[in-house]
Amino acid sequence: MKKERIISYRRRCLQIGTGLSHYILIVSKKARK
Amino acid sequence: MCDENQLQAKYANTGYGPQFVFLDIGLPGKIAVVEPNVAFWALVDHDAVQDALAGPLIADFQRKAEDFKREMDYLRFGLKPSAVYFNPTELCNFNCTYCYLPEKMRRNGKTMTVRELCDALEHLYSYFHRTLPDDSKPQIIFHGSEPMMARESMFAGIEKFHDKFHFGVQTNASLLDDEAISFLTGHNVGIGISLDAPEAAIANNLRKNWHGKGAFDSVVKIMDKLVTYPAFNVITTATSMNVHTLPQMVDFYHDHGVKTVMFNPVRCTREGGKKLKPHNNTMTEYFCKALERTYELYSKTNQKLVIANFANVLMGIAGPTGRRLMCDISPCGGGRCFFALSALGGVFPCSEFIGFPEYHGGNLFQDDLDVILKTKPFQEITTRTVENIEPCATCAIRHFCGAPCPAEIKMLSGTVNAPSPYCKFYEEQVRYAFRVIGQGREDAYMWDGWREDTEETFNLN
């Protein structure tokens, strides 16, 4: 268990805009190269 | 930019302060504090609630509120299509109980010729070349019906356009012979297969050919051949008939070395799926047990099985723009991040709509894609927001769930502006995700590389 009394963070994707529907595979970066 | 009054606010919920709501997450000693409009959250110890309502959290939030809002607006309204669900054929050699495509289509439908398929890819390339940045490669996912029924055309298209698109294929695996596997893996094509239970009796009852015969044994053999391929995953559709096997399914996949799966609740878009919808409480119970089991196995063996649809919900909280699947956000990805192409050239907001002529936006071979994407059926989906749906409009987790899916909701409710039939299931998934964060266990549930693919833009500590 984390010890902080308040946990809050947010991350931002470095390459936004590649979203798919729930029917597909997450195409891995390795496979893309 | 925040004005002075907002920056000087000391308290939540009064004056110029932010509107925070509280959420029980089922974790002893902790609650979630959420600002729903911008998908901001904090997990707060019970004895720190006062700090969350009147402490540094207020100032930190106010400083970033505009950035959070801009980010959500871009994610929800600023993206361009970058993927196509490409149905190269209407035919399927299977007749699965819950398929969302009409039977007549799957029995007697059209298959694209090599020329037609390459022509379609040419049209799509020309569109994306114009609309996407030069360093961005669009994705083509061959989808079904059963795309391997159009093997010759599909492989010719992949061969010809492999440097212009990222390709993927979602298949029932029954037609994947060694030659096909070698071709697909040799061309770095993502491969997704479907399997619905860890035992033949249940799996074959749900997914079977026109003679009622399933392919459990051969699908498992194919799975074993593909487990080491990095762009491989398996989809399990959860129904009332197999939902209780989800925890065993985790062990089954883990034993076989599978790394990524999706446990998708069946969509109620057609009668078959609707009849098999698992009860929300049952779905929640076994889905959460399955998640728990992935954690136990990961802790014991250091071998991870990612349940990607849950990882996506978790990512929607940890970093909204890091989502990879665009069902659990409103507007959903249909018609704005991706669209679907039928074997006849028909363009639809998503594969779920292919069986419904009223969602036909136009024909790729005859009409301008820019025009198609602005037609009424597309706009109905691309402007569908939780703000126009009750009770979603005031729900604290509205931007972690998105009230999916408009196709099944339209068929169930007669309008897209209604909540998800899986509302309760989503509520519990989001609570589970908050518990994962509260316990610091994100890495056990998230896909590898999720931290490297993202950067931290806010951290209270």
Long-range contacts formed by B217-221: CB under 8 A, 24+ apart: B218/B173, B218/B174, B219/B172, B219/B173, B219/B174, B219/B193, B219/B194, B219/B195, B220/B195, B220/B256
pLDDT at B51 over 80: yes
Q: How far apart are CA B57 and CA B372, in angstroms?
A: 46
Q: Does A9 touch chain B if contact means CB atoms closer than 8 Å? A: yes
pLDDT at A31 over 50: no
Contact A21 B333 (CB under 8 A): yes
Distances (CA, A) of B409 to B137, B237, B379, B417: 32, 18, 16, 8
Q: What is the mean pLDDT of chain A?
A: 64
Q: What is the pLDDT of residue A20?
A: 57
**Count of Cβ atoms closer than 10 Å to residue B130 Cβ:** 9
Which distant-in-sequence residues (6+ apart) come within 8 Å of B179 by Cβ? Answer: none
Beta strands in B158-282 (DSSP E): 166-171, 190-194, 232-238, 260-265
Q: Tell me the longest C-alpha to C-alpha distance in chain A.
A: 42
Indicate the SS3 state at residue B357. Answer: helix
Q: What is the pLDDT of residue B244?
A: 98
In sequence order, the β-bridge partners of residue B357 are none
User: How confident is residue B56, by pLDDT bands cut at 50, 70 and 90?
Assistant: confident
Q: How far apart are CA B332 and CA B326, in angstroms?
A: 6
Q: What is the pLDDT of residue A29?
A: 46
Look up the pTM and report it.
0.95
Q: How far apart are CA B65 and CA B44, in angstroms?
A: 19
Q: What is the pLDDT of residue B117?
A: 98
Contact A17 B337 (CB under 8 A): yes
Mean pLDDT of B251-274: 94
Q: What is the pLDDT of residue A28?
A: 44
User: How confident is residue B3, by pLDDT bands cut at 50, 70 and 90?
Assistant: confident
pLDDT at B284 over 50: yes
B286-333 pLDDT, tens digit per residue, is 999 999 999 999 999 999 999 999 999 999 999 999 988 899 999 999
Contact A23 B79 (CB under 8 A): no
Contact B447 A26 (CB under 8 A): yes
User: How confident is residue B55, by pLDDT bands cut at 50, 70 and 90?
Assistant: confident
Q: What is the pLDDT of residue B134?
A: 86
Q: Does B255 touch chain A if contact means CB atoms closer than 8 Å? A: no
Contact B459 A9 (CB under 8 A): yes
pLDDT at B179 over 50: yes
Q: How far apart are CA B344 and CA B120, in angstroms?
A: 10
Mean pLDDT of B140-162: 96
Q: Which chain B positions have a beta carbon within 8 Å of A15's beta carbon?
A: 453
B180-235 pLDDT, tens digit per residue, is 999 999 999 999 999 999 999 999 998 999 999 999 999 999 999 999 998 899 99
Q: How far apart are CA B312 and CA B304, in angstroms?
A: 16
Residue A28: which of B257, B142, B401, B453 has the closest Cα? B453
Is residue B391 reached through a cis peptide bond, with omega within 30 degrees of 0 on the bond before it? Answer: yes
Percent helix, percent strand, percent coil in chain A, to nearest 5: 10, 25, 65
> What are the tokens at B346?
């028909």
Indicate the SS3 state at residue A25. Answer: coil
Residue B253: which of B216, B290, B198 has the closest Cα? B198
Task: Return the ∠ at Cα A26 (arms to B392 and B325), rounded to 5°.
Answer: 15
B399-411 pLDDT, tens digit per residue, is 999 999 999 999 9
DSSP state of B111: B
Q: Percent of chain B, pLDDT > 90? A: 88
Contact B324 A23 (CB under 8 A): no
Nearest CA in chain A to B441: A1
Q: Which chain B positions have a beta carbon within 8 Å of A32's beta carbon?
A: 137, 166, 188
Contact B333 A20 (CB under 8 A): yes
Inter-residue contact B101 to A23 (CB < 8 Å): no
Mean pLDDT of B161-168: 94
pLDDT at B275 over 50: yes
Q: What is the pLDDT of residue B342?
A: 96
B333-357 pLDDT, tens digit per residue, is 999 999 999 999 999 999 999 889 9
B40-50 pLDDT, tens digit per residue, is 999 999 999 99
Comparing CB atoms, the residue among B45, B139, B324 nearest residue A5 is B45
User: How confident is residue A18, by pLDDT bands cut at 50, 70 and 90?
Assistant: low
Q: How far apart are CA B172 and CA B165, in angstroms?
A: 23
Residue B10: which of B20, B18, B2 has the closest Cα? B18
CA distance B201 to chain A (A): 24
Comparing CB atoms, the residue among B137, B191, B438 nearest residue A7 is B438
